[in-house]
Amino acid sequence: MALVEYNPFRGLDRFFDQFAQMASGDARLMPMDLYRDGDDFVARMDLPGVDPSSIDIDVHDNVLTVRAERKANDVKHDEHSGWVSRERSYGSFARQLSLDSSLDASRITADYTDGELVLTIPVAEEAKPQKIQVTQGQHRAVTVGTDESDASEQKAETSTDAKAAD
C-alpha cells in the first residue's frame, strides 16, 4: 500500500470562477503560496495597496473566504490629463479555500503586513498524531491449569520442592 500525504485543501480555488465580473471584465486573483509549517498550514496572499480595513475573512461550512478591495486612484480627466496606461488591478478580490475537518477553523489567525496577508490555519488537536506511551509491566508467575485445584497442587509441589532443596 502506498502512502500519500493528505491535502486538507481539497478543491482549492474551485469557487474562484463564480465571483462577479469586475469593472474591467476580468476576475482578479490573489496570488497565494500555501505550505505546511509543523502543526499549521500557512497561506500567504499578495494584496499590495489594499487598505487592511477592507479585508474580510470568514469561514462558513468549512469554506474559508477572503475578500478585499483595492480602490483606483482618481485621475483628473481633461484635455491636459488622463490615463495613458492602466495595468494595475483595482476593485474587489476574493479567494476561497475548502478546509478539511482536520483543521481548526476556530483558531485561524490573520496578519496583514507590507501588502501581504498571512493566514495561519492550525491542525485540530484530535487530528494530530497521538503518542502512545509504553509502560513496563510486572513479571508475574503464570500457572497453567484448568481449574483452581490444579493451581493449588502446583503451589504445594513447588513449596515442598523448595523445602527439600534446603
pLDDT of 37-88, one tens digit each?
Answer: 999 999 999 999 899 999 999 999 999 999 999 988 777 778 888 878 888 8
Mean pLDDT, the chain, rounded, equals 76
Helix (H), strand (E) at residue 86: none
Spatial separation of the C-alpha atoms in residues 92 and 50, rounded to whole Å: 10
- In order of their start, the domains of the chain are 16-75+86-127 (2.60.40.790)
Kindly compute the dihedral angle of the four CA atoms of residues 7, 8, 10, 12, in this order, to the nearest 10 degrees.
Answer: -100
Q: What is the distance between the terminal CA atoms of the chain, rounded to a whole angstrom?
A: 61
Cell of 53: 480595513
Q: Which of 17-21, 73-77, 142-146 has the lowest mean pLDDT?
A: 17-21
Q: Is the pLDDT of residue 152 over 70?
A: no
Strands (E), 7-90: 32-37, 40-46, 56-60, 63-70
Q: Is pTM, for the whole model, over 0.85?
A: no
CB 128 within 8 A of CB 122: no
pLDDT of 87-97, one tens digit each?
Answer: 888 888 899 99
Spatial separation of the C-alpha atoms in residues 63 and 95, rounded to whole Å: 10
- How many Cβ atoms are within 10 Å of 97's Cβ, its own excluded? 25
